[in-house]
């Protein structure tokens, strides 16, 4: 049998009145996660595990839950199906204190699901059904833009077929005119023409956070420093290239650094990039200097990989602060 992640009580800050300052929009997924296996099953073989996890997933949902764990009021804007997994996703988000008024039920498509297979010493394997996310459009975002949020985050752009670059650029521009920040993350499912949509959106993007493998597929360039500089040239104000166990590279008008990683016991990398984004946005909302945003993001991202699933291991704000107080992060100026 599968179990679901325990649902904590909402943080005190989530209960405050008024629109949440951060909107996480894009993909909501129900993840079926196995703990790290010694080996993949051979044909016809059964590999027994102690437990299986049913978990919330998708960039928008992961970031929203992580922000809630950090004590940040957040709303979600996405689509789920009219099914058991859609109800599980909605109930999980509500249990974390997230505003779900922007979560639409798509009665023509099932909830998106991903099967995540972990094998010790190997990268994760994913089997994915896009489901209701196929219908997500920029129009879905409009109800949460009045008034504009302090931060609008789009998780997994480039894998949402109906979220067009031109329409997203218009929404990003609207948020920025209202004094807010825009944060963009992407997924690149394979080789494709990703330059054109990014050329439309990045001039309206304050923070762009691809990982280095995604950046390589987009640009045909494997060096993370040159990747970051290329995206800056395309218009993004701050670019952070995450590189897994090799840390990250950040480039902006004021900062050019290579960051290491915090020491942590690795269990499952699922959701690590989304947790990094959540930490960065929490710092952005607090008005932290850019380098401090990066340090908080690195700590929260590191915390995610301590446990199976996309959100179970993520620090609370107090835990993140204590961890950063007692651990050093190497920062190299470029």
* Residue 191 maps to a domain: yes
User: Model confidence over 118-156: pLDDT tens digits?
Assistant: 898 888 898 999 999 999 999 999 999 999 999 999 999
Q: Is 267 helix (H, G, I), strand (E, B) or coil?
A: coil
User: Model confidence over 15-53: pLDDT tens digits?
Assistant: 356 899 999 999 999 999 888 899 999 999 999 999 888
Q: What is the pLDDT of residue 17?
A: 67
The H-assigned helical ranges of 84-158 are 84-95
Q: What is the pLDDT of residue 10?
A: 35
In angstroms, the Cα distances linking 105 to 23, 112, 135, 263 are 18, 12, 11, 41
* Residue 268 maps to a domain: yes
Structural domain boundaries enclosing 225? 15-26+59-105+134-333
Radius of gyration in angstroms for the set of CA atoms belonging to the chain, rounded to a whole number: 19
**Prediction pTM value:** 0.91
* Residue 53 maps to a domain: no
User: What is the number of domains present in the chain?
Assistant: 1
Q: What is the pLDDT of residue 35?
A: 87
* Residue 120 maps to a domain: no
Q: What is the pLDDT of residue 207?
A: 98
* Residue 237 maps to a domain: yes
Residue ranges of the chain with per-residue pLDDT less than 70: 1-17
Q: Token digits for 92?
A: 């999980």
Q: What is the pLDDT of residue 90?
A: 97
Bridge partner list, 184: 154, 208
CATH number, domain with residue 81: 3.40.1190.20
Q: What is the pLDDT of residue 53?
A: 87
């Amino acid at each position: 049998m599968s179990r679901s992640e325990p649902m904590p009580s909402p943080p005190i800050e989530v209960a405050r009145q008024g629109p949440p300052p951060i909107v996480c929009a894009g993909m909501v997924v129900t993840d079926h996660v196995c703990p790290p296996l010694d080996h993949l099953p051979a044909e016809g073989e059964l590999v027994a595990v102690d437990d299986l996890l049913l978990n919330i997933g998708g960039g928008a949902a992961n970031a929203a839950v992580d922000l809630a764990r950090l004590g940040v009021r957040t709303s979600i804007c996405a689509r789920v199906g009219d099914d058991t997994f859609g109800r599980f996703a909605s109930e999980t988000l509500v249990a974390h204190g997230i505003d779900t008024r922007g979560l639409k039920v798509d009665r023509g498509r099932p909830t998106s699901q991903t099967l995540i297979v972990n094998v010790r010493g190997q990268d994760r394997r994913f089997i994915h059904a896009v489901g209701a996310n196929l219908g997500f459009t920029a129009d879905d975002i409009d109800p949460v833009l009045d008034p504009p949020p302090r931060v609008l985050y789009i998780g997994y752009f480039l894998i949402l077929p109906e979220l067009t670059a031109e329409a997203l650029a218009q929404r990003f521009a609207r948020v920025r005119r209202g004094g807010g920040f825009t944060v963009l993350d992407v997924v690149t499912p394979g080789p494709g023409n990703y330059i054109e949509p990014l050329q439309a959106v990045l001039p309206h993007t304050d923070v762009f956070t691809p990982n280095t493998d995604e950046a390589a597929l987009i640009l045909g360039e494997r060096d993370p420093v040159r990747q970051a500089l290329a995206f800056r040239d395309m218009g993004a104000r701050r670019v952070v290239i995450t590189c897994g166990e090799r840390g990250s590279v950040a480039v902006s008008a004021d900062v050019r650094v290579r960051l290491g990683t915090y020491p942590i016991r690795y269990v499952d990398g699922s959701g690590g990039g989304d947790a990094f984004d959540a930490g960065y946005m929490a710092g952005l909302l607090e008005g932290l200097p850019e380098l401090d945003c990066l340090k908080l993001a690195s700590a929260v991202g590191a915390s995610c990989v301590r446990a199976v699933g996309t959100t179970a291991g993520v620090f609370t704000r107090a835990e993140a602060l204590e961890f950063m107080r007692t651990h050093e992060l190497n920062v190299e100026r470029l």
